[in-house]
């Protein structure tokens, strides 16, 4: 299982009690103190498609569950190519996207770079909650002040006018509303990650009537089965286990 998400941890825990299925969860090793899943864990990149194909052979793997974050596009593409090359099945577990509620103002962005352009031309005080890897796309924006929040220190340069807050979710809507009020935020910038862990910022934006620049997910890649929940992966694995293999 390719992990790094709360869903992958729930799935790893459930599979601990599942007879006949041995699971290894793989983490990229990006977060300094990751929340470790139950069971066997390996850490670090595989070395691209070739490396993953070798790992699959060396560990007699017969299924990959890609439970990585919806924005982990490189790993997801690698998993798809490697599964085809190795002739094994690939299940993609990707949580449902967030959708705007009644009265929400979402400004869609097809990339982080487009989000930076939208913020620069329209807003003064942005709450930037896109993780730590792509904050540098906003570094050249000098006309906007940013509240940057991530779990670990962002990679690369930060915008010149910013405050950095290191924090790990889940957050609640009341806290998020207070944060946005305190910093006089006029726009929230988010990836469309989906999930309950970080949804509170959207509830707070709704409550305050703030617009959200929402960065779209990368395109889906080819897989054998694509599901949105842990229970669907479990069902699929069990049905394979009881005869389809
Ligand atoms: P990425 O850009 O798609 O992947 C870059 C490289 O990191 C991959 O080519 C692979 O290296 C390695 N890698 C990524 N996920 C891995 C995994 N689960 N196990 C082993 N190697 C992995 O990935 P990313 O966006 O940096 O995400 C890294 C991890 O953080 C993933 O596990 C993801 O679920 C988690 N995460 C990402 C985000 C996000 O917004 N992107 C948010 C929360 C959690 P090799 O080519 O050497 O194999």
154: burial class by Cβ within 10 Å (0-12, 13-18, 19+)?
Answer: buried
Q: What is the mean pLDDT of residues 144-167?
A: 96
- State the Cα–Cα distance between residues 162 and 165, nearest whole angstrom: 10
Q: What is the pLDDT of residue 245?
A: 39
Query: How many whole angstroms from 90 Cα to the centroid of ligand 1?
Result: 17
Q: What lines the ligand 1 site, CB under 6 Å?
A: 2-5, 26-28, 30, 45-48, 51, 68-69, 71-75, 78, 131, 133
- State the Cα–Cα distance between residues 232 and 230, nearest whole angstrom: 5
pLDDT tens-place string over residues 200-211: 999 999 999 999
Task: Provide the pairing of β-strand 125-129 with 187-191.
Answer: parallel
Q: What is the mean pLDDT of residues 238-245?
A: 62
What atom in ligand 1 is closest to the CA of residue 51? 48
Query: How many whole angstroms from 63 Cα to the centroid of ligand 1?
Result: 19
Q: What is the mean pLDDT of residues 75-85?
A: 98
Q: What is the pLDDT of residue 113?
A: 98
- Residue to mutate, 9, 23, 28, ligand 1, most ligand atoms under 8 Å from C-beta: 28
Query: How many whole angstroms from 45 Cα to the centroid of ligand 1?
Result: 8
219/241: higher pLDDT: 219
- State the Cα–Cα distance between residues 6 and 9, nearest whole angstrom: 5
Please name the residues in contact with 158: beta carbons below 8 A apart, sequence gap of 6 or more. 135, 136, 138, 139, 146, 148, 164
Cβ proximity of 146 and 120 under 8 Å: no
Runs of H (alpha helix) within 1-158: 6-16, 48-58, 73-86, 112-122
Q: What is the pLDDT of residue 155?
A: 92
How sure is the predictor about 241, in pLDDT bands with cuts at 50, 70 and 90? low
Q: Is the peptide bond before 170 cis (omega within 30 degrees of 0)?
A: yes
The residue contributing the CA closest to ligand 1 atom 24 is 72
pLDDT tens-place string over residues 10-60: 999 999 988 889 999 999 998 888 889 999 999 999 999 999 999 999 999
Please state, as a whole number, how many other Cβ atoms lie within 10 Å of the Cβ of residue 241.
Answer: 14
pLDDT tens-place string over residues 100-152: 999 899 999 999 999 999 999 999 999 999 999 999 999 999 999 999 999 99
Percentage of the chain surpassing pLDDT 90? 89
Query: How many whole angstroms from 72 Cα to the centroid of ligand 1?
Result: 5
Query: How many whole angstroms from 146 Cα to the centroid of ligand 1?
Result: 26
| Mean residue pLDDT across the chain | 95
Residue 113 tokens, joined: 């770079």
Cβ proximity of 66 and 223 under 8 Å: yes
As a three-state string, the secondary structure of 18-40 is CCCCCCEEEECCCCCCCCCCCCE
């Amino acid at each position: 299982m390719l992990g790094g998400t709360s869903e992958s941890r729930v799935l790893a825990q459930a599979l601990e009690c599942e007879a006949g299925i041995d699971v290894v969860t793989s983490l990229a090793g990006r977060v300094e103190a990751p929340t470790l899943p139950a069971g066997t864990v390996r850490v670090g990149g595989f070395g691209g498609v070739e490396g993953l194909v070798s790992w699959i052979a060396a560990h007699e793997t017969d299924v990959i569950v890609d439970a990585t974050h919806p924005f982990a596009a490189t790993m997801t593409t690698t998993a798809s190519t490697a599964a085809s090359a190795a002739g094994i099945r690939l299940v993609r577990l990707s949580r449902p996207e967030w959708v705007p509620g009644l009265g929400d103002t979402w400004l869609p962005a097809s990339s982080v770079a487009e989000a930076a352009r939208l913020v620069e031309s329209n807003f003064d005080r942005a709450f930037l909650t896109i993780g730590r890897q792509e904050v540098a796309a906003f570094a050249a924006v000098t006309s906007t002040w940013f509240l940057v929040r991530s779990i670990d220190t962002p990679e690369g340069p930060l915008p010149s006018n910013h405050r950095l807050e290191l924090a790990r979710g889940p957050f609640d809507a009341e806290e998020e509303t207070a944060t946005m009020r305190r910093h006089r935020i006029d726009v929230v910038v988010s990836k469309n990650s989906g999930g309950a862990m970080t949804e509170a910022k959207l509830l707070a934006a709704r409550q305050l009537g703030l617009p959200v620049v929402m960065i779209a997910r990368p395109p889906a890649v080819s897989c054998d089965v694509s599901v949105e929940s842990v229970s669907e992966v479990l069902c699929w694995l069990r049905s394979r286990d009881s005869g389809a293999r």
